[in-house]
């Protein structure tokens, strides 16, 4: 972001947003109580409680809102920040979809960001991951960007990208996350769920737990591919480790067949196994997602996988919703929502 005069100049190009209501709240979570009696003037843990494992949501409702809000859930190492301003300073999906008339809820999942109070402890270690993220999030092969990658190459853009990372404050737990997400959907009423990466797994579980999830738009789900018991495909080894499917009761899986689902993956996926760790990681995730979509549809569902390069959209990273062509990606999503009469 530039100084305020520059901001004002930039902003003058776009119409002001008319926000009917905005705010934030915590939802879900639990309360842990320590036995004993609290002594006000000699406090110890005894008799005290801890509120934790909730999620945090910031919401905005535009004037004349559409009926279904959109709830956006980030991925690993990220927060709601993922959906706000892009690393190169343009509007992200939060504001783009507000402009399109949707109430938008941005989530910090339990044990992350502003929902940091965890009921389970954890050591936060300063881990140098920048170069691994550059590779794994498919900006390129460090230190080189992929040709034609949809990521601005100014150093300050990469700096912002790296600074969007924020750590877990407790162990990752898809059950804890999806419980809080289900509580959020109880509060929003019927709504559309957008997920990114690691958020994909808790996303499916949320839709199983609360039928207010009326559709899922998943960007590059990376783990948590759930199949009906007895129908699991083999695990898939890659240069970045082995990806294993996960089993759920058939009745739960069946719940995912009630709603339209679309999955988007970006560019620079290898077709054949490769020793390039950052890319090979995604080869198996894409392959598993294809099996997952086939399983949903075999059971009567309505899922679709869009591999962007196959429809002529090239260069997307692991973050298509904040890439240079994110308006084009938003248009794709809008078209999907219109087709499914969700807008």
Residues numbered 73-132 forming contacts with its own copies, rule: CB under 8 A: 79-81, 84-85, 89, 91-92, 95, 103, 108, 112-132
Q: Return the number of the residue (63 or 153) whose C-beta is nearest its own copies.
A: 63
Question: Taking CB under 8 A as the rule, does residue 312 contact its own copies?
Answer: no
Residues 31-50 close enough to bind its own copies by CB under 8 A: 32-34, 38, 40-43, 45, 47-50
Using alpha carbons, list the distances in angstroms from residue 60 to 10, 57, 104, 290.
22, 10, 6, 34
- Residue indicated by tokens 């404050």: 169
Q: Return the number of the residue (165 or 291) whose C-beta is nearest its own copies.
A: 165
Give the DSSP letter of residue 164. T
Minimum CB–partner distance for residue 119 and its own copies (Å): 5
Contact 205, 178 (CB under 8 A): yes
Measured in residues, the chain has a length of 343
* Count of chain residues binding its own copies (CB under 8 A): 98
Minimum CB–partner distance for residue 101 and its own copies (Å): 13
* DSSP annotation string for 299-322: TT-EEEEEEGGGGT-----S-GGG
Q: Return the number of the residue (94 or 206) whose C-beta is nearest its own copies.
A: 94
Two tokens at 44? 């110890």
Tell me which stretch binds its own copies (CB under 8 A): 147-155, 181-189, 226-234, 301-309: 181-189
Residues 160-179 close enough to bind its own copies by CB under 8 A: 160, 162-167, 169-170
Minimum CB–partner distance for residue 313 and its own copies (Å): 24
Question: Taking CB under 8 A as the rule, does residue 242 contact its own copies?
Answer: no
Residues 253-272 close enough to bind its own copies by CB under 8 A: none
Question: Taking CB under 8 A as the rule, does residue 331 contact its own copies?
Answer: no
Task: Count the neighbouring beta carbons within 10 Å of the beta carbon of residue 84.
Answer: 17
Task: Count the neighbouring beta carbons within 10 Å of the beta carbon of residue 242.
Answer: 10
Minimum CB–partner distance for residue 100 and its own copies (Å): 15
* DSSP annotation string for 170-232: S---HHHHHHHHHHHHHHH-SEEEEEEGGGHHHHHHHHHH-TTEEEEEEES--S--EEETT-P
| Residue of the chain from 231, 252, 276, 302 that contacts its own copies (CB under 8 A) | 276
CA–CA distance, 218 with 41 (Å, rounded to integer): 51
Tell me which stretch binds its own copies (CB under 8 A): 15-23, 147-155, 219-227, 263-271: 15-23
Q: Return the number of the residue (113 or 260) whose C-beta is nearest its own copies.
A: 113
């Amino acid at each position: 972001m530039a100084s305020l005069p520059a901001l004002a100049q930039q902003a003058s190009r776009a119409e002001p947003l008319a926000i009917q209501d905005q705010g934030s709240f915590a939802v879900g979570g639990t309360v842990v109580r320590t036995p004993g009696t609290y002594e006000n003037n000699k406090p110890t843990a005894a008799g005290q409680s801890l509120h934790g494992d909730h999620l945090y949501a910031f919401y905005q409702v535009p004037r004349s809102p559409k009926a279904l809000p959109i709830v956006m859930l980030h991925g690993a190492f990220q927060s709601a920040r993922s959906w706000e301003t892009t690393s190169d300073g343009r509007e992200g999906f939060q504001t783009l979809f507000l402009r399109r008339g949707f109430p938008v809820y941005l989530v910090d999942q339990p044990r992350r960001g502003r929902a940091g109070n965890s009921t389970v402890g954890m050591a936060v270690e300063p881990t140098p991951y920048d170069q691994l993220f550059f590779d794994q999030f498919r900006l390129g092969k460090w230190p080189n960007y992929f040709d034609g990658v949809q990521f601005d190459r100014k150093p300050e853009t990469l700096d912002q990208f790296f600074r969007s990372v924020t750590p877990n404050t407790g162990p990752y737990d898809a059950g804890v996350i999806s419980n809080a997400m289900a509580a959020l959907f109880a509060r929003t009423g019927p709504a559309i769920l957008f997920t990114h990466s690691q958020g994909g797994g808790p996303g499916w579980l949320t839709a199983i737990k609360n039928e207010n999830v009326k559709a899922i738009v998943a960007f590059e789900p990376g783990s948590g591919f759930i199949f009906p018991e007895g129908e699991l495909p083999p695990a898939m080894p890659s240069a970045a480790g082995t990806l294993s499917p996960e089993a759920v009761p058939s009745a739960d899986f069946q719940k995912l067949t009630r709603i339209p689902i679309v999955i988007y993956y970006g560019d620079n996926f290898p077709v054949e196994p490769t020793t390039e760790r950052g890319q090979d990681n995604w080869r198996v995730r894409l392959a598993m997602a294809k099996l997952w979509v086939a399983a949903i549809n075999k059971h009567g569902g309505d899922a679709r996988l869009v591999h962007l390069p196959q429809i002529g959209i090239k260069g997307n990273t692991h973050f298509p919703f904040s890439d240079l062509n994110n308006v084009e990606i938003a248009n794709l999503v809008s078209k999907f929502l219109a087709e499914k009469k969700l807008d």
